Structure formats: C-alpha cells, structure tokens
Amino acid sequence: MTDHRATRANDRTETIMRATLDLAREVGYAKLSIEAVATRAGVGKHTIYRRWPSRGLLFLDAVLSLNTEGLDHPDTGDIVADLREVMTKAADLLGRPPWGPLYQDLIGEAQHDPDVAAALNRRFIEPQTANTLTRLKAAKDQGQLAPDFDLDLAFEILSGPLYYRFLITQQPVTHDYIDRVLQAVFAGMSPRPQTR
C-alpha cells in the first residue's frame, strides 16, 4: 500500500509540474497562479501548497524538471573544444522553447524572491559552476591555462557574455558568438612565454 501511495503522490507531483509548465507557456509566468495550476492539474490548492510554499518554488521545480542532460564537461584534453561543446549545448537549450523563455522567467523571479534565488543557485547554478571549474582546473593542471589565472574569474568571464545576451539584450547566443567569446577569453588565459 505504501508503494501505491508513493506512486500516486509522484504521479500527482508530475501532473502539477506539467500543468505549471503548460500554463506558464500559455499565459507567461507573470499571470501564472496556484489556482489556475490546481484547476489544470485537477487538484486542490492545498495539495499544491503542501508541496510548494510559493508559486515561485513550484515554478522552479517545474522548470528544473525539464531535461538538461549533456551539460557536463567532457575532458578531451582540449579545453577550448570542451568548453565550446557545453556552451553551444547550453545556448541551443536556452535558445528555444520551452527552456529559454521559462528560464528567463525563472531568473526574473529569482530577483524578487530570495527563496527561489537560493534554490536556483543551489540546484542549478552551483552544480554547473562546479562542473566548469573542475574542467578549468584540469586544464590548468595540464598546462593549457596560465598557472596564475583565477579560475573563478575565468568562469565569470565565460558566462557573463552569454547571460548578457540572453537576459539583457535578448540577442541570440549563436555558435559563432560563442567562438568569438572563447577566442577573446583564451587569448588572455593562455600560458605566456617565460621571460628571463
């Protein structure tokens, strides 16, 4: 009986998150309401509030339930190629529905709701950052990056232009743009010849 209840609870959770995503795509996050999600999912509002204390945290779980596989960094021995692979996959993911518009709304909500910001950082931003920093450290250890280069700063320099385009100017983050960013960044991160 416990397995049946757990399965039913999981099914209900998935139904609620799917209803949240469907409604967010239809009306936008700004007009998304717990009442509308409850109606669409065929549950009571109290069922939603038992699982999620706010609309923002429900939206966060729903967005993060979408597939983001393939964003782990490979280690082929070529740091630029490895970063390019992950950056282009991320750009492709964010450049089209449903991820792109939903993630923009999620970032917007994180600016107003500290709980959403903390959860987004803990569950998505920090793991992605750690994965990139691990790959950059391996490249540094292999002599592909200057030994004194600040890896945290490198991550910020690499991700900043992408978020700037994605969130501020809303210009497309194309593969060509990623190539230009990597070329500009790695001209400064490459090991410099030793002077005597």
Whether residue 142 is predicted with pLDDT greater than 60 in this model: the reply is yes
- Whether residue 178 is found in the same domain as residue 84: yes
Q: What is the pLDDT of residue 24?
A: 93
**Domain boundaries, position 35:** 2-61
Nearest to 181 by CA among 74, 68, 83, 104: 83
Residue 95 makes CB contacts below 8 A (sequence gap 6+) with 172, 173
Q: pLDDT digit string (tens) for 72-119?
A: 888 999 999 999 999 999 998 888 888 888 889 999 999 999 999 999
Provide the domain count of the chain.
2
Q: pLDDT digit string (tens) for 29-51?
A: 999 999 999 999 999 999 999 99
- Whether residue 35 is found in the same domain as residue 128: no
Burial-class residue 16 by CB neighbours within 10 Å (0-12, 13-18, 19+): buried
- Whether residue 103 is found in the same domain as residue 168: yes
Q: Do the Cβ atoms of 143 and 152 come closer than 8 Å?
A: no
Q: Domain boundary at 34, 61, 88, which?
A: 61
